[in-house]
Amino acid sequence: MSNQLAIEATGLTKAYGTTEVLGGVDLRVAPGSVFSLLGPNGAGKTTVVRILSTLLRPDGGRARVAGFDIAAQRHQVRRRISLTGQYAALDGLQTGAENLRMMARLSGLRGAAARRRAGELLARFGLEDAAGRRVATYSGGMRRRLDLAASLVGYPAVIFLDEPTTGLDLPSRQNMWQVIGDLAGSGVTIFLTTQYLEEADLLAGRVAVLDGGRIVAEGTTAELKARVAGQRLDLTLAGPAEFAEAGRRLGDRATHRDPPALTLGIPTDGTAPAIRALLDEIDPERALIGAFAVRATSLDDVFLALTQKETAHV
């Protein structure tokens, strides 16, 4: 069975000097699926992508991508993947069409075929009107779309997208989501990194949460949300001293802390007995809590709960 996985990584480690970047990462991605590696800045997401796309050698661990070993069969892997990094890998002084034709030729297409493939992709990504303009004049969103188009010229089996929407405004991000969503289901495997939960939730079937160089959770977004209770009880404390005291009593259980607003958030199922019990437990003297509110858990709560748990262990 494992031979059929698009990506299979076991125990990947990487350190720069004494700084550990990856502390043993395991990943399994089914072919044709969209998989998201989610994590805050500095979690090691780009390092994972660079290792899997053969640009960086891991210190330890093994991985197979598109059926080939990333160390021993680097060239076979490269023939089957594409990489779109955080910074558009395009020549600003060439036009959009020239960039795509160049990538098509480098992928082995000749003359007319390269021209046809470039035209096809420009049309598919809504860049026909800008095809004859130099890329330096493109907006950020257009550049990302062209970058993604460039990564598709060679019909890759596995596509790596490293933070494809970072730095884009909302309309451009939505446009990218649309484009990536259209790609999914076409048979290619998409490995996407992001720091936005919304993006992972929207695009990916499965999500792995990377924090401090380790996978702290993995599953579907629904499974991840279920790991944290469905509601959050927000307590607004009477003053800074009360905030500190309640925070001390709650410890790790407070997944949300907002000192300026004197607010603490605790996951709960939202039922009256549970909330009554919680209030009694934290504030038996009825002196700390000024007000409370119950709200639905956002994915941010899940993310914070997962990543904070990890830092608590370190």
Partner 1 sequence: MSDLTAAMPAPYRGRRATAWPFSPPGDYLTMAARCARLASREIDALMTSLFLPVMLMVTFVYLFGGAISTGTRYITYVVPGVLLLCAGVGSASTAVTVCRDMTGGIIDRFRAMDIGSLPMLAGHVAASVVRNAASSVLVFAVALGIGFRPHAGPVAWAGVAGLLLLFVLALSWLAAAVGLLVSSPEAANAFMFVPMIVTYASSAFVPVRTMPVWLHGFASHQPATPVIETLRGLLLGTHLGATGWQAVAWCGGILVASVALSAAAFRHRTR
Residue 74 is classified by DSSP as H
Distance CA 228, CA 84 (A): 33
Min dist. Cβ of residue 46 to partner 1 (A) = 10
Min dist. Cβ of residue 110 to partner 1 (A) = 8
Strand partners, 25: 12
Nearer of residues 9 and 103 to partner 1, judged by Cβ: 103
Min dist. Cβ of residue 134 to partner 1 (A) = 8
Name the nearest CA neighbour of 82 among 149, 156, 32: 156
Min dist. Cβ of residue 160 to partner 1 (A) = 8
Instruction: State the residues that interact with partner 1 by CB under 8 A.
Output: 3-4, 6, 31-32, 50, 53-55, 57, 66-68, 75-76, 78-91, 93-94, 98, 102-103, 105-108, 110, 134, 150-151, 154-155, 157, 160, 187-188
Nearer of residues 38 and 90 to partner 1, judged by Cβ: 90
Contacts of 86 (CB under 8 A, 6+ apart): 46, 162, 163, 166
Min dist. Cβ of residue 245 to partner 1 (A) = 51
Nearer of residues 111 and 284 to partner 1, judged by Cβ: 111
Is 192 in a helix, a strand, or coil? Answer: strand
Beta strands in the chain (DSSP E): 7-16, 19-29, 34-38, 60-65, 68-69, 81-84, 158-162, 189-194, 206-211, 214-219, 231-237, 256-258, 263-268, 289-296
Nearer of residues 103 and 176 to partner 1, judged by Cβ: 103
Nearer of residues 134 and 257 to partner 1, judged by Cβ: 134
Copy the structure tokens of residue 267. Answer: 């996951």
Name the nearest CA neighbour of 70 among 45, 49, 46: 49
Min dist. Cβ of residue 79 to partner 1 (A) = 5
Nearer of residues 187 and 260 to partner 1, judged by Cβ: 187
Half-sphere exposure of 143 (CA within 13 A, CB side): 22
Min dist. Cβ of residue 210 to partner 1 (A) = 20
Q: How many CB atoms lie within 10 A of CB 240?
A: 11
Nearer of residues 68 and 243 to partner 1, judged by Cβ: 68
Phi, psi torsion values for 266, nearest 5 degrees: -130, 130
